[in-house]
Amino acid sequence: MKKLILILAILVVASPAFAALDVNIVKIANGQVQIRYTGADPCNLPRGFALAFEVNSTTADVCGISAYKVGESNSTSRGYGIYPARITFPDPPGDQNKPSNWGNPLADQADPGAGDQTLPSKNFVLEFASLYAPVHDTTNCPNYPNGTLCTLSYEPNGATSFTIKMTGEGQYRITGGATATTGVVFEDGTTADVNKSLTITGVVECFPGGPSGSKYLEWVAVGKPNCWCASIQPRQCWGDADGKSEGKTNPPWVFTNDLNVMFAAWNKTYAQIAGQTYTGNGVVTPLICADFTHTGEGKTNPVRVFTSDLNILFANWNKPNKPDPNCALLGY
CB of 154 closer than 8 Å to CB of 200: yes
pLDDT, tens digit, 9 for 90 and up, residues 308-332: 999 999 999 999 999 999 988 877 7
Q: Which of 80-84, 155-159, 307-311 has the lowest mean pLDDT?
A: 155-159
Task: Evaluate the CA torsion angle 225, 230, 234, 239 in order and state its sign.
Answer: positive
CB of 145 closer than 8 Å to CB of 137: no
- Distance from C-alpha of 326 to C-alpha of 332, rounded to nearest angstrom: 10
| 316 burial via Cβ count (<10 Å: 0-12, 13-18, 19+) | buried
Q: Which residues pair with 155 in a beta bridge?
A: 61
| pTM reported for the whole predicted model | 0.61
- Distance from C-alpha of 105 to C-alpha of 150, rounded to nearest angstrom: 9
- What is the rounded average pLDDT of the residues 9-38? 73
- Distance from C-alpha of 210 to C-alpha of 233, rounded to nearest angstrom: 17
Residue 33: closest CA among 213, 165, 121 = 165
Burial 196-218 (b: 16+ CB within 10 A, else e): beeebeebebbbbeeeeeebbeb
pLDDT, tens digit, 9 for 90 and up, residues 113-153: 777 778 888 999 999 999 999 877 899 999 999 999 999 98
* Domain span(s) for CATH 2.60.40 in the chain: 3-200
Quote the pLDDT of residue 207.
75
Q: What is the mean pLDDT of the chain?
A: 85
Q: Which residues pair with 129 in a beta bridge?
A: 48, 82
CB of 268 closer than 8 Å to CB of 304: yes
CB of 245 closer than 8 Å to CB of 251: yes
Give yes or no for residue 11 having a pLDDT over 80: no
CB of 216 closer than 8 Å to CB of 180: no
Residue 59: closest CA among 148, 161, 171 = 161
DSSP code at position 177: S
CB of 41 closer than 8 Å to CB of 20: yes
| 242 burial via Cβ count (<10 Å: 0-12, 13-18, 19+) | buried
Q: Which of 106-115, 139-148, 189-198, 238-247 has the lowest mean pLDDT?
A: 106-115
Q: Which CATH number fits domain 3-200: 3.90.180, 2.60.40, 1.10.10, 2.40.50?
A: 2.60.40
Residue 176: closest CA among 4, 6, 1, 9 = 9
- Distance from C-alpha of 20 to C-alpha of 30, rounded to nearest angstrom: 29
pLDDT, tens digit, 9 for 90 and up, residues 265-309: 999 999 999 989 999 888 889 999 999 999 999 877 899 999 999
